Amino acid sequence: MWNDPPNILMAAPPYLISCDPRKIQVFLLDNCMLCQNIHLADCSSVATNVSSTNPLLQASALSRRATVLVASRKTIHMFTLSSIPELVDDVLASNNLQLALDILMSASKSDNPVGAGIPVNRLGYVESRVQFLFARLQFDVSTAEPCFKTARKHLESATRLPVDLVCLLFANSELFNGIQDARDFSSHLEELRLEVDERMHVGSELNELVPQDLIDLNIDELARLQGTQLSLALFHVFLPLVYAHRSLLLKLKLSCQGNVEFIVDDLLAVMDTVLLKGFVLWDSGRAKIPSDVETRSLIARLTEQKLVFLRSENWCDVNECEKLLLLYPEMWEELLWLYYGKSMHEKALDWLRSLTNQGTQEPEIYRRKTIEYLTILGKPYEEMVLRYSKWILESFSKPKEALSIFTDAEAPIDEPVVLKHLEEHDQRMMAVGGKPFLSILYLEHMIHQGKSEDSLLHNKLVMLYIEYILNLQKTAGDTEIISQARSSLLQFLKSSRFYSALDLSHRLHATKLYGEYCVVLSRLHRHKEALEVVIKQVGDSFKEALAYCQSLYDPNDAHTKDLYLLLLEVLMQNTMIEQAMELVETHFKELDPLKTLMMLPADTSVQTLQPYLETVLRHRYSQHRGSQVVKNLVRKEHVSVMDTHATLQRKYSVVTRTTICANPLCHKNFQGDSAIARLPNGSIVHYACLQNMII
């Protein structure tokens, strides 16, 4: 600390005073930071009225200034000790901000800050003030990014600095309409804040320490911020700090009520409007912000905050913000969400629609956004959603995506209402063949996604399909589309188990959709009718009819075990003898021979029947042989079982010379006179062995 040891060293809290032959030095006692050099030669002794146990307080109690007396060769000098704030003021006067800040930091870190002669919060106030001056300085020299980062660092370390000061740093930018506007803004905020505080009685924590002299600082001299510069400054300083302050206001709004809430709303209105302006100005110049990893994540966070801000309740002045946003056509989405946040849904939707003609983007983008918007609105805005969905349904090229208005909504509109709406749409669009029925797509989605088992819905879907296909056929629509639609319908008829086949059979009866009609008839077990339809109406009908029988035949099912006979009957009725013979020859196994022969016409020659009879007889004979073998085997097994049964039932046992004792430890023959015992299972043991076995 010293080149040569000092002659005299004395503590006068919060200072330490040292004298060497040429000068006096004043340090902070706590950390020996040098505060002042006083050139005064040949000091020989020092005295003070500051007690080291009871610092400046004692001196002030005696209504005296804390003083230090220094004697040099001919003179006694009297020095008055400044309090830390006074010292800082002096340092500030010489524009040495860093030193002022260092002194304050040291003092606030000290164990005994009161030793500095002032209350802690007063020290905090002074510190905030210096931090702000520092930030302000960055805005003077501002031309580069690091300046703004430094400024934010200082503003963040300043405790309870009013947010208007942050705003005032932007007085000379597009954020305000000139310096006077910025001043008005600041004083308006201050008035509101004071009013909140007055009404809250207990203090709102908004009562910031407003250093009036700082507001009076000559902000006219602030550097003019524009373009990328402004964007950077907003990004690093304005947006994070103002957004944080807004969160504080929101919290306050939740905790207060009545007439206070009123004013908090006013405060929020002022803050939100300027915040939105900040977001917009930042956005418009942000493309040029150099991006590193840290910046990118900050940008992402701010963008997220912006969207949350717009989409949730906010207190912006709509007219003012709308006017501003309209200046930047690329910010159409921001304006949209502003309308949303303000519940101005009709305006938002009208505007989106007008953008499809006048916007700078592809019309599809606006349509897609409309879909998203309507999806969010959902059931609470049912009438509006239905009304505005019309033009989307008519103009959007991807019908499934358009339907997400109804299918993806968090609060979906009731199915019957949507269905009716879509059916009306389909009716209108009927003239344009080939356009899929949206009601079909919607129902398919509801049935598949919702796993609906409502037979009304299933029936409705089939009816809509029928109507759609008939309409296509009537208007001679694309055959590929027709066959696609038919195969979807067939697929559904086969897979769904919930439609009422009876109702549908009436509808299908009147159409030429034979394949579909057959499926429904078979569902009703009206197989003969189904086969008749196939034989009469479908091309290559015999093959189709066979396929029908093959797919459904089950010998154990009462409904389908006679399917082939039914087919034979239908073939005979239609005098398709050739096919009938083919059937009996190839499917003799599934046909009862007697019933078959009865059904064939009486004048059929034996020669015609010969191949059939041969196959049937051969088949029957081999069946008979097979049965006989089985029968014999069964009989043999029966005898053996009876034998075992008789043995077990016998009440006596035969002992011969070869009979041996059943005791596994003995296994000896029986002598003529040995006593024997018979076990319940019929085996014989020596009586002695029995005794041993029991033990």
Distance CA 693, CA 568 (A): 74
Shortest Å, Cβ 668 to Zn ion: 5
| Residue 661 touches Zn ion, criterion: CB under 5 A | yes
| Residue 666 touches Zn ion, criterion: CB under 5 A | yes
Query: Hey, how many other C-beta atoms are within 10 angstroms of the C-beta on 541?
Result: 21
Q: Closer to Zn ion at the Cβ: 136 or 686? A: 686
Shortest Å, Cβ 634 to Zn ion: 41
| Residue 460 touches Zn ion, criterion: CB under 5 A | no
Q: Closer to Zn ion at the Cβ: 236 or 686? A: 686
- Three-state secondary structure call for residue 77: strand
Looking at residue 683, its amino acid is: S
Shortest Å, Cβ 658 to Zn ion: 15
Shortest Å, Cβ 676 to Zn ion: 9
- Are 553 and 534 spatial neighbours (Cβ–Cβ below 8 Å)? no
Sequence-distant (6+) residues with CB within 8 A of 462 are 489, 492, 493, 499, 504
Site residue total, Zn ion (CB under 5 A): 5
Shortest Å, Cβ 691 to Zn ion: 10
Q: Which residues 494-533 are close enough to bind Zn ion by CB under 5 A?
A: none
Q: Closer to Zn ion at the Cβ: 600 or 666? A: 666
| Residue 580 touches Zn ion, criterion: CB under 5 A | no
| Residue 662 touches Zn ion, criterion: CB under 5 A | no
Q: Closer to Zn ion at the Cβ: 498 or 687? A: 687
Half-sphere exposure of 92 (CA within 13 A, CB side): 17
Shortest Å, Cβ 685 to Zn ion: 5
Residue among 487, 482, 473 at smallest CA distance from 515: 487
Binding to Zn ion by CB under 5 A, coded x per residue (else -) over 615-654, reads ----------------------------------------
Q: Closer to Zn ion at the Cβ: 527 or 686? A: 686
Distance CA 57, CA 42 (A): 31
| Residue 684 touches Zn ion, criterion: CB under 5 A | no
Q: Closer to Zn ion at the Cβ: 33 or 693? A: 693
Among 41-49, 152-160, 461-469, 687-695, the segment contacting Zn ion (CB under 5 A): 687-695
Q: Which residues 66-85 are close enough to bind Zn ion by CB under 5 A?
A: none
Q: Closer to Zn ion at the Cβ: 577 or 666? A: 666
| Residue 689 touches Zn ion, criterion: CB under 5 A | yes
Sequence-distant (6+) residues with CB within 8 A of 111 are 30
- Are 389 and 405 spatial neighbours (Cβ–Cβ below 8 Å)? yes
The helix (run of H) or strand (run of E) holding residue 596 is helix 593-599
Distance CA 416, CA 368 (A): 25
Shortest Å, Cβ 664 to Zn ion: 10
Residue among 161, 160, 159, 137 at smallest CA distance from 150: 137
- The DSSP 8-state label assigned to residue 62 in this structure reads T
Among 497-505, 554-562, 577-585, 657-665, the segment contacting Zn ion (CB under 5 A): 657-665
In the chain, count H helices and then E strands.
31, 9
| Residue 690 touches Zn ion, criterion: CB under 5 A | no
Q: Token match 């504080």: residue? A: 248
| Residue 686 touches Zn ion, criterion: CB under 5 A | yes
3-state helix, strand, coil in the chain (%, to 5): 65, 5, 30
Per CB under 5 A, residues contacting Zn ion are 661, 663, 666, 686, 689
